[in-house]
């Protein structure tokens, strides 16, 4: 099915649903692309879903089994066509009625306007699917379950998520995130420098560093690595620190969570382009700390936005291309 067909020419063979969710689109996009989340909400009323395979990239296969209220199982297979985080997901449903589904995520003042469009090969197939499978009502019920999933997690307990796409292969991007000499050239909010860093890249190893602000103030931080999957994923516990490598409070906010679980993923949805996604979640935080985390999303977005700017500037230099220094 061609992806270049104008929407106006498909109106007689499509099913469309739109819903606004009270959550940022990065979060809603996450709920559509991480199997542990999809299994919690996908499907119409009375159905449960088991995810067998979900390779979220163009050409990647998505297999799931939906079990109806009477116990009947419905295997499904789809193939992803396009992934543009956090704006769009396109896949072809290849089992049973064939259709192309496009999910579009639009920012609506901090909320997410989600539009789902199912385009069938013919109007007759659309009508048959709507009548025999209840596809119209099923789609609305499924989006209702997504809304319930969002509502189950109050804002203060939602992760902070931010992503950017760079014109660099992910193997190179992973190197830039895991090599001391690279990290010292770009990591930190815009305008900050890193005069000291020590990196032990292994599960249980530590990235301990000092940052200096443009006005000369120094602060320390550290990552304790939990999981390393080259070139796809880094998981660590992030905290402020001191010269000795201890865990300290935020220098400007006593109520900030002491530690954050940090997950950085690297996805190459297009050849030679890497989408970097950072997820922060408080660990063992008090209600007051979770509230501080929730109200601090603007400053987190500003800090990570500046960090991504420094990363982009560094990637444009010759040293980013040639420097493959050590990791200690």
Torsion of CA 294, 260, 281, 205, to 10 degrees: 160
7-153 and 159-322 have identical folds: yes
The secondary element (H helix, E strand) that includes residue 116 is strand 111-120
Task: Fill in the DSSP letter of residue 13.
Answer: G
Whole-number pLDDT of residue 156 = 87
Helices marked H in 237-315 — which ranges? Answer: 287-295, 297-315
Q: Give the side-chain half-sphere CA count within 13 A for 284.
A: 5
β-sheet bridge partners, residue 215: none
**pLDDT given for residue 5 in this prediction:** 43
Closest CA to 239 of 251, 228, 231: 251
What would the pLDDT profile of 67-85 be if each residue is shown by its tens digit? 999 999 999 999 999 999 9
C-alpha 127/C-alpha 153 separation (Å) is 36
List the CATH code of the domain at 159-322.
3.30.530.20
Domain 7-153 is in which class?
A: alpha beta
CB atoms within 10 A of CB 259: 16
**Do the beta carbons of residue 123 and residue 12 sit within 8 Å?**
yes
User: CA 36, 41, 43, 49 torsion: positive or negative?
Assistant: positive
Q: Which residue has 């995520």 as its token pair?
A: 105
Q: What is the pLDDT of residue 123?
A: 96
**DSSP state at residue 157:** G
Q: Count the neighbouring beta carbons within 10 Å of the beta carbon of residue 150.
A: 19
pLDDT recorded at residue 1: 41
Residue 230 DSSP label: T
Integer angstrom CA distances of residue 281 from 58, 156, 307:
28, 10, 18
Whole-number Å distance between alpha carbons of 181 and 191: 18
Distance in angstroms (rounded) separating the CA atoms of residues 298 and 307: 14
Helical residues (DSSP H) of the chain, grouped into ranges: 25-33, 35-41, 123-133, 135-152, 170-178, 180-186, 287-295, 297-315, 318-322
Q: Which residue numbers in the chain have pLDDT < 70? A: 1-8, 323-328
Domain ranges of the chain: 7-153, 159-322
The pLDDT of residue 9 is 80
∠ CA 314-315-319, rounded to 5°: 75
């Amino acid at each position: 099915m061609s992806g270049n067909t104008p929407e106006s020419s498909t109106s007689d063979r499509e099913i469309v649903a739109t819903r606004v969710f009270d959550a940022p689109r990065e979060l809603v996009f996450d709920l559509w692309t991480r199997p542990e989340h999809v299994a919690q909400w996908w499907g119409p009323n009375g159905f449960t879903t088991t995810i067998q395979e979900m390779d979220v990239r163009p050409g990647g296969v998505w297999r799931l089994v939906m079990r109806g209220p009477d116990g009947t199982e419905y295997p499904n297979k789809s193939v992803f066509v396009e992934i543009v985080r956090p704006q769009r997901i396109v896949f072809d449903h290849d089992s049973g009625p064939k259709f192309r589904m496009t999910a579009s995520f639009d920012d609506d003042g901090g909320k997410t306007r989600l539009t789902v469009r199912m385009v069938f090969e013919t109007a007759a197939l659309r009508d048959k699917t709507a009548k025999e499978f209840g596809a119209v009502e099923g789609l609305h019920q499924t989006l209702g379950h997504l809304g319930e999933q969002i509502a189950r997690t109050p804002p203060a307990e939602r992760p902070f998520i931010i992503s950017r796409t760079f014109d660099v292969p992910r193997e190179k991007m992973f190197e830039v995130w895991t090599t001391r000499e690279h990290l010292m050239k770009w990591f930190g909010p815009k305008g900050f420098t890193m005069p000291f860093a020590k990196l032990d890249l292994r599960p249980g190893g530590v990235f301990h560093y000092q940052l200096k602000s443009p006005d000369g103030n120094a602060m320390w931080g550290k990552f304790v690595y939990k999981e390393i999957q080259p070139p796809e994923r880094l998981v660590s516990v992030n905290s402020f620190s001191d010269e000795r490598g201890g865990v300290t409070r935020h220098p400007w906010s006593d109520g900030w969570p002491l530690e954050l679980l940090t997950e950085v993923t690297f996805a190459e949805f297009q050849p030679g382009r890497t989408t970097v996604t950072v997820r922060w979640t408080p660990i063992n935080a008090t209600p007051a700390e979770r509230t501080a985390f929730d109200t601090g999303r603007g400053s987190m977005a500003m800090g990570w936005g500046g960090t991504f700017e420094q990363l982009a500037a560094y990637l444009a230099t010759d040293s980013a291309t040639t420097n493959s220094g050590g990791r200690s």
